[in-house]
Amino acid sequence: MKFLDLAKVYIRSGAGGGGCVSFRREKFIEFGGPDGGDGGTGGSVWAEAVDGLNTLIDFRYQQHFFAKNGQHGMGSQCTGKDGDDIVLKVPVGTEIIDEDEETLVADLTQVGQRVLLARGGNGGWGNLRFKSATNRAPSRANPGQDGVERTLWLRLKLIADAGLVGLPNAGKSTFLAAVSNARPKIADYPFTTLVPNLGVVGVDGKEFVMADIPGLIEGASEGRGLGDQFLGHVERCAVLLHLVDGTSSTITRDYRTIIAELEAYSEELASKPRITALNKIDALDAKTLGTRKRALEKATGGPVFLMSGVSRKGVPEVLRALWAQIQERRGTAQEDAPWQP
């Protein structure tokens, strides 16, 4: 299944049915009077977050969603049938944005969460509604209300607790495959991941979700390479794991390149808690490892973990540090949540 995290859709709710002008005409009933029914309500357009989806690819092949109109009213006080609703089933983590690409309409972050995108038009009144003591035979009825037409953007941001960032070939996919059941593409030649991957990571009996996004390169914020189009998938993460390739001879430059791209994308993303790890230490001798660790610690101004995704050396310590940050952020989020009786 192809991965798609941005889609444009055109929606329209159904129009309400018109009211009916009708009079009761039956044998042996001298004064029948008006009996026109109301029109039915038009169908509405909803969006619902469902489990089991992780892409918006379905909305590439179908972009127009029009709900049914309400049926017109009929005689004998018969109300028209309501139009059927339409439900757009989207993955959890989907943002719905207005046509201006700035106004957030809804953010669906939980399974089963629903939002009304376009309400169906009300049905018109039949002439029975206009009967009064002074107007015993009204000959008027209301038309149905028009539906609502909108153009919306769907943007998917994967729900993950921790996110992997780094240059291409820093070992992010290898690390994710080593600590989870995710199976991203891994090979012994240089290439970059093309789509984000999710994996459930376990450490000390605890589990959390980790996202691996395509590697950034210098100038990604200006559109070079794959650009920064996938950085939105780590905006929801509580902590970022920055992997630096230990076999590179320019590790401090590599580190600063990623930090610069994060800052260019968003101040909020750049300010997220980060854990820095020097990867591929199994390919380094002790002297080189010590030199590069000290250089990276000087560049980061903080501690640097040593690990190898292949041999799994140092991996448990990194996972425990990630879990500690996730627990801390979750506790802060619960404290900031509004009190509910």
User: What are the residues whose beta carbons fall under 8 Å from the beta carbon of 155, sequence distance 6 or more?
Assistant: 5, 6, 94, 95, 97, 232
> What is the model's pTM?
0.70
Say what percent of the chain tops pLDDT 90.
19
36 marked ligand binding residue: no
* CB-based contact 127:72 (threshold 8 Å): no
Structural domain spans, the chain = 6-156, 162-336
193 marked ligand binding residue: yes
pLDDT band at 284 (very low <50, low <70, confident <90, very high): confident
Q: How far from 208 is each of 86, 272, 313, CA to CA, in Å?
A: 34, 17, 20
249 marked ligand binding residue: no
| 186 token code pair | 């891994």
191 marked ligand binding residue: yes
CA dihedral 305, 306, 308, 312 (to 10 degrees): -70
Q: What are phi and psi of 317, to 5 degrees?
A: -65, -40
For domain 6-156, give the CATH number.
2.70.210.12
pLDDT of residue 25: 80
220 marked ligand binding residue: no
Checking if the pLDDT of 294 tops 80, the result is: yes
For domain 162-336, give the CATH number.
3.40.50.300
Per residue in 139-164, pLDDT (tens digit) is 889 898 999 999 999 988 877 788 88
Q: Give 184 or 179, the one with higher predicted confidence.
A: 179
Checking if the pLDDT of 16 tops 90, the result is: yes
192 marked ligand binding residue: yes
Per residue in 324-341, pLDDT (tens digit) is 888 887 665 444 444 343
Q: How many residues does the structure list for the chain?
A: 341
Checking if the pLDDT of 188 tops 60, the result is: no
* CB-based contact 35:90 (threshold 8 Å): no
